[in-house]
Amino acid sequence: MFWKRKGKKKDGDEAEGSGAESAVTTTSTGTEDAEAEERAREEKSAGAKQDAPAEAVGVDDSDPAAEPEESDEDVPAAKKSGTAAEEDTDGTEADEADESEDDDEDDEDTVPAAAATKSAFADGDEPETAGASERDQEGVQRVRTVGVLKAEDQEVDVVSNTWIVDVDDEGVVVIDPAHDAEAIMEAVGDREVYLVACTNGYNTHITAAVEVAERDEAPIALHRREVRAWRRVHGAERRPDLEIEGGGSLKAGDVEIDILPIPGTSTGSVAFYISEKGVVFTGDSLRKDEVGTVAGGYIDFTQQLHSIGEMILTLPPDTRVLPDSGPETAVGQESENFDTWVATR
């Protein structure tokens, strides 16, 4: 199923400047940093060959600890050759120190950028609290809201993730709008909501959907098998606009979203995969280091495990997994857990 909505704010060709272009720019920046670091290493190597004693040629430039040892050996040798040699050695040491600082600066520029792209929502040991994050380098933003999951005659206090994804310069897709529409729309700001997409019909994924969609008259997408669950929250009068199925696609702004069928926690559970951003939104089906549960239990563990193995863990290993609660993870990391999960079946 293909669907494309151009924002009401756009006419003609104004839709240029997509989230995909932003991703290319980030990748390009990372490449430039790496090239700058490599050039610095080459210059440093050339300088070492000209000014340093022969013993220093074998020192590995990639080992910062080896550089001070090289300088300590150079100073006594220079003193034996007189004042001119001593001055030359001092200049060499200063040049090497400057180059070392430049290398460190390049490393600082490169490493945090990669970390921000790949684990912006890793959280570590931080407690889950309500609030909105900044957008990461792929234009993905998380809003955490506090509420109550109602399922299987149970009520459980939860902190839920709602995901806001830039799909061009002016608009976003909102995934799994949970408990607090006001907090979500505050994070959206002046950007237009093109689409509201829900991974299944549990209230933690749909409660704020109607209010979030209302301002910009955005369509709401939900699997057709989840309409009954939808009615328990929103009634029969306001139906989802798009009754989607696994295996189709949605196109919002300039970004294509693949719909992956992952039944297990519910018969109509889906994941939303955006290949150009390297992210998959898994709802309650797969969370960090665990097969997702509903109110602490499994609805159909065997089916859910099959869905994860067939549809999620077959994606590229570096694909970021963004679930409905908890921190982000990655396909490669969860693939390492799969055999353990199978053994517990």
- Residues 197, 223: Cα–Cα separation, whole Å: 10
Do 144 and 256 lie in a common domain?
A: yes
Do 34 and 143 lie in a common domain?
A: no
Supply the range of the domain harboring residue 162. 121-343
pLDDT of residue 123: 73
pLDDT of residue 320: 98
The chain-wide mean pLDDT, for the chain, equals 77
Do 126 and 213 lie in a common domain?
A: yes
- pTM over 0.85, yes/no: no
- Residues 287, 123: Cα–Cα separation, whole Å: 13
For residue 289, pLDDT beyond 70:
yes
Do 284 and 140 lie in a common domain?
A: yes
For residue 77, pLDDT beyond 50:
no
Higher pLDDT residue, 97 or 256? 256
Q: Among the listed ranges 42-51, 160-169, 320-329, which one has the minimum average pLDDT value?
A: 42-51
- CATH number reported for the structural domain that contains residue 260 in this entry: 3.60.15.10
Domain for residue 5, yes or no?
no
Among 77, 98, 117, which residue terminates a domain? 117
Q: Among the listed ranges 104-118, 196-210, 330-344, which one has the minimum average pLDDT value?
A: 104-118
Do 81 and 153 lie in a common domain?
A: no
Spatial CA neighbour of 317 closest among 297, 336, 302: 336
Among 84, 117, 150, which residue terminates a domain? 117
Which whole number is the average pLDDT over 145-150?
96
pLDDT of residue 119: 67
Among 83, 117, 151, which residue terminates a domain? 117
- Percent of the chain at pLDDT exceeding 90: 61
Domain for residue 13, yes or no?
no
Domain for residue 12, yes or no?
no
Domain for residue 22, yes or no?
no
Higher pLDDT residue, 92 or 170? 170
How many structural domains is the chain composed of?
2
Do 113 and 141 lie in a common domain?
A: no
